Structure 1
Amino acid sequence: MGALDKGYKAEELIRLAANKSVSARSELVENIADLFLSPGGRLNEHERALMNDILSKLILNVEQHVRQELARRLAESMDLSHDLVGMLANDKIEIARPILEKNKLLKDEQLIEVIRNRTDAHRLAIAVREFVSSDVTDALIEHGNEDVVEALINNDNSEISEASLEYLVAESKNLDRFQEPLLNRQDLPATLAYRMYWWVSAALRRRVIREFEIDETLLDDAIEMATKHSLQETVEEDGVMDKAQKLVRKLDEEGELTSTFILQAMRQEKINLAVAGLSRIAGLNVKIIWRAFRERTGESLAVIAKSIGMSKEEFTSLFLLVMQTRSGGKARATSLLKSILSMYGDIKISNAKAAVRHWQRDLGYQDALTDMKEAI
């Protein structure tokens, strides 16, 4: 004997539905919700189909607060029909939210339809679901606002394709709020993390250097790409930098280009020569070295110095000389120096080399440098 035979007659439910009073509609919702939420096995297949049919016909004709209460109570029900759950998901956000956030009956096609045709509030509810497929994720990124996308990135159970991650990393250059959530994701490739290094905050830079590992095969590829780039780089700058690069190239060929030479050049205030020398040793474009010199925190300079094997004492001298050059006076030991030296000791040489090699490999960094925000 089914639930309807035991106490909830179909005729009684229809009579309640026909009654326009608030009390009758409230009683209708209570009865139907009670049937759906009753212990397993109470509704047989015929009764379940009947209840879904009744609700599908009446749902749009009952007051909003009734639909809202019904959606709240049935948000996790697995007895709803796909048509009914779709109707509730497309309703006003006050009604749709619990269904969009919790109901597992919603298919990807239904979710994508909501994403394309409803509001950002609907999209936000979908972004925090227990699981979000890559197809749904792509639609959210395409149609959602920044709040939606940030919630999606923060959702560890959302599947984000590598192509979408690449797009979000590029967007994070101008949207700080995406940066930390992206670096927190377990599926973010190290290559993309290193790409973010140039525009994230000081604290997040430390995370990139300390936490992200890189596959040895990718490192080999990076070295190969950097070598090819070095051989093809024949365009030289005019003036002082042109002469400086020619000199350091000759010194390098003679085996005399060392960290000591760079420090001597800095002490003699031959900044272009020091930049050219560090550029040659690290295999980086001079624009990147200039950027590292101008950066107040000194973190990029620390990574570059670590990658070429500078001792802590050599880096201390280099950092103080760079500070002195920027300030036009004598550099003093400060909390900034203490902080950067602490970081220098923490940086793994392998990670520093990995970062530099990726900067060598990705030629897009050269263009990115021109529009990056100044380091704070």
Structure 2
Amino acid sequence: MAEAGSKRRERSDAARLLLAAARERFAVAATDLLLPEQARLTEWQRLTASNLLSRLIRSIEDALRVPLAEHFAAQETVHAALSSAHVPIVLPILERAGALSDSDLGTVLVRRVEEHRFWKAYGQGSGEDLLYALVRDSDADLASEAMEMVIARSRRFDRFQEPVLGHVDLPAELQHKLVWLVAAALRHYLVQQHGLRAVDAAVEAAASAFIAQYDEGAGLEAAAVRLSRRLHTLDRLDGAFLTRALSEGMLPLFIAGLGVRAGLDHAAAWEILSDPRGRGPALLLRAGMIERDDAAAILLLLNTRGRLFSGAEGDAAAEQLELYDSLDSASAAEVMRLWQADPAYRASVARLSTRASGSVRSA
């Protein structure tokens, strides 16, 4: 009994440490993005993330400036300033205030950069695209879900096939936070630069109207989860499908599908997959009950051209496959239980674990 209890504690501790390691890696990456002088990401990753952030802030700013320009139409100088598409207002204010140092925002940017890097590595192949094949599927519901994902994916790129991060692809809480942050920056500009006083009602109305149009379900991740659930219902979400999705650079669909099989939400699956110690992929594949041949193919894809993050060294795919072989589905599923808990609980466990590990290292 004592030995069994010890093994259970080890598995529980493995889950806690895996969670802490994943969160710590994202925290470091977020620091890389927001504090370039301490950068650990590549120059391309930092530049891509910076461009994504700038365009995201500008898209929200533009949406709020339109109703504000109409509101202040009688004041020519203010109206002209708000209507000038060539003059950014919000980003310089937010950067001076250090208001963009947000770990949740950093995490979203890191994930979008990694997703695009994977797409560049694998998504340029020839042959029929998996999603377009599903659009023509005989199952009407599946075809509809696939079309929704096609539409959502199209918003991830501009006309030059450069990555875009739209506000609809943000988690609801982060989207609301950014909108109000942009609104506050516009208020600051109107008051400080134009000496206006009665601006709060107009700014709040513009921001509230924009938030009211937000639909988290329209984002790519949400569409990928819905498609994956439909495939799972039809018993078609197998290892071969996930391997093909990954081989075509569709990282969001792969993560959503593996998450559905393992009983995890998209964010939790992302977190485990990006474990900097390299244990996450094997655990996730085992928990999702992926067959060994498919697991080997997936691990190879994750560790070659599209290697998820860039910290793994050596023959990572072989080492992860060894870990996969040493696990059983029940043990892997037990580790996954922490990620099936309330996200706020996971965040608290990660926060305490990360701080505790930092205290141990500094002791």
TM-score tier, shorter chain, comes to 0.3 to 0.5
Normalised by the size of structure 1, how large is the TM-score? 0.35
Who wins on radius of gyration, i.e. which is larger? 1
Normalised by the size of structure 2, how large is the TM-score? 0.36
